Amino acid sequence: MHIGTARTALFNHLYARRHGGKFLIRVEDTDRERSTQENVDILFQGFAWLGLASDEEPVYQALRADRHRQVVGELVERGAAFRCWMTPEETDAARDQARAEGRALRSTWRNRSDGDLSQPHVIRFRTPDDEPIVIADAVQGEVTFPSKDLDDLVLLRSSGEPTYNLAVVVDDHDMRISHVIRGDDHLNNTPRQALIYDAMGWERPVFAHVPLIHGPDGKKLSKRHGATSVAEYADQGYLPEAMRNYLARLGWSHGDDELFSDAQAESWFDLEHIGRAPARLDFDKLNHVNAHWIRHADDERLAALVQRVRTDRGEAVSDADRPRLVQAIPMIKDRADTLISLADQAAFALLTRPVAIAEKPAAQLTDEARARLSRLAERLGGIEAWDAALLDAELKAFAESEGVGMGKIGPPLRAALTGGVASPDIAKTLAALGKAESLGRLSDILSPSA
C-alpha cells in the first residue's frame, strides 16, 4: 500500500467519522492480471496496521460484473451508449485524425446500427460533442472540462469485461457513496464518470481530489526519496498512531496543531482545509511525531514491539530478560524517535552476564575505580526503593563522601554496568536494570576472576 493510498484512505475515514457516516472499502480488481490475491492481501495488511477497518464487508468489483453489464445495457437502450466494431487499426487511424483536428476520438459507429452482433465488438459511451462538463470539486473548486477533449469511452470490452470508469460509477451508486475523496491523479477520470451518472439519472457524489504527496525536493514521491509503502514505514519502526497523526496533517491543517489524537482528528477533519498544492514528505517532522507517540505509548506494548524488532534482527529476547526490557522502556523511550532506535537503546538492559567490556571503557576500571565501585556497591545494597530519583541522589551523596566529582564515579560505573553499550544517564541505567541485575553486574566486575 503506497503512502498516498494510506493518506487518502485516512481522509475518507476521518470524514466519515466526523459526519457519522460509513467508511467503506472496495477492491477495484477489474484488472485481473494486477489484482492478485497477494496484492489484495498486502492492501488489507496495510489497512490493518493503520487501524482502518471497513464499516461493512469489503466489496470486490470483479464479482459485480453482471451488474455492470446490466447498466451498460440500460445506457444502450437510452441511446447514451452504442456498439462499436472498429478494428484496432481503424481506432488508431480515427484517433490520429481526431488529434489532428484538435479533438478526442469519435467512433465511426456512433450513428450506425448495422453491425454483426456475432462479431467481437465493444460498447462505448456517446460523449457529447461540444458541451462543458462542470465538476464542483470540494478541494479543487469548480473545474470545467470541454467534452470535445473526451473520447467515446469504452464501457464494455469485447471480452464482455466492464472498464474501470464504468464500474466505479455503478458501484459508487449502488453502495450509496456520498463523497469520493481520492488523489488528484483521478481528476481527469471525473468528467467521464460524471457523464455516466448524468446519463443514468443518478445524483453525482461529492468529489474531492487531494493533491499528491511529493518528496522533500518537491518531485513526485518515488523510491529515491526512501520509503513509499506503508509496510516499509512499519518495518522502519513507526507507530500506526504516529502515521495517522502525520498523514492527517500532510496536506490538511487545523490551525497550528501538529500533534493530535485520533479523536481530535475525527472531530476536526474537514475538506475545506485540504490544500491545493502537493504536500511534501518531511522525515524530520515524521520522526518528531513518532517520538511523541512513543513517549505516550504503553510500556508493555513498546516492549513487545521492541522484542519483535530484535527477533527480526536475530536478537531474540528470552522470557527471563523480558521483565528487564519492560523495566528499561520508561527510562529510554523519551530518547527514541523510532522503534528501531528504541530497540538499539534497550540493548544495554539485555546484555548477558558477565558483561563483556570494550577496550576504551575498560580503561576506566583502574584499581582505584574498582575499590570505589566496591564501596558504592555496598552502599547501593542497602537501598530499598530502587528508583532513578533516589539513585541519583545516592550517587551524588556517595561522590561527596568520597571527596570526588561524578566524573570519577559515572564512567567506571557505566563501564561495569553496560560494557560500553549506549545507555541513559547512570541513575536511569541502574533503575532500568533493577537492583539484582545492577549489583550482579558490579559483582562480576569486582570479583577476583573478573
Mention every residue, 6+ apart, whose C-beta is less than 8 A from residue 127: 104, 106, 147, 150, 151, 152, 153, 195
pLDDT of residue 239: 98
pLDDT at 70 (0 to 100): 98
How many CB atoms are located within 10 Å of the residue 374 CB?
Answer: 14
Residue 27 predicted with pLDDT over 80: yes
Q: How does pLDDT run across 329-358, given as a tens digit for each residue?
A: 999 999 999 999 999 999 999 999 999 999
Could you report the per-residue pLDDT of 137-181, keeping only the tens digit for each?
999 999 999 999 999 999 999 999 999 999 999 999 999 999 999
Q: How confident is the model at residue 449 (pLDDT cuts 50, 70, 90)?
A: low
Which one has a higher pLDDT value, 156 or 448? 156
The tens digit of pLDDT for each residue in 263-310 reads 999 999 999 999 999 999 999 999 999 999 999 999 999 999 999 999
- Indicate which residue of 22, 148, 220, 223 is catalytic: 223
- pLDDT at position 450 over 70: no
According to DSSP, residue 229 is labeled: B
Mean pLDDT of 59-87: 97
**Pairwise CA distance, residues 348 & 355, whole Å:** 10
Mean pLDDT of the chain: 94
Please, are residues 294 and 336 in contact by the beta-carbon 8 Å criterion? Answer: yes
- 26's CB contacts (< 8 A; 6+ apart) are 58, 59, 60, 61, 171, 175
Query: Which pLDDT belongs to residue 448?
Result: 61
Spatial separation of the C-alpha atoms in residues 332 and 27, rounded to whole Å: 42
Question: 1 or 332: which carries more pLDDT confidence?
Answer: 332
| pLDDT single digits (tens) 307-335 | 999 999 999 888 889 999 999 999 999 99
pLDDT-derived band at 214, boundaries 50, 70, 90: very high
Model pLDDT, residue 430: 97
285 is catalytic: no
State what percent of residues in the chain have pLDDT above 90. Answer: 90
Q: Is the pLDDT of residue 36 over 90?
A: no
* Rounded mean pLDDT, 386-406: 96
Q: How far apart are CA 230 and CA 42, in angstroms?
A: 10
Residue 338 CB neighbour total at 10 angstroms: 20
Q: What is the pTM assigned to this prediction?
A: 0.90
∠ Cα 334 335 339 (to 5°):
90
Q: What is the DSSP letter of 2?
A: B
Q: In the predicted model, what is the mean pLDDT of residues 122-134? A: 95
**Positive or negative: CA dihedral 13, 244, 6, 298:** negative
Q: Is the pLDDT score of 120 beyond 60? A: yes
Is the Cβ–Cβ distance between 124 and 82 less than 8 Å?
yes
Annotate 375-413 with DSSP letters as a single string: HHHHHHHT-SS--HHHHHHHHHHHHHHHT--GGGTHHHH
- When mean pLDDT is compared across 21-25, 29-33, 274-278, the lowest value belongs to 29-33
Q: What is the pLDDT of residue 320?
A: 86
* 220-268 per-position pLDDT tens digit: 887 777 777 899 999 999 999 999 999 999 999 999 999 999 999 999 9
Longest Cα separation, the chain: 108
**Beta strand pairing call for 279-280 and 213-214:** parallel
d(CA 221, CA 216): 9
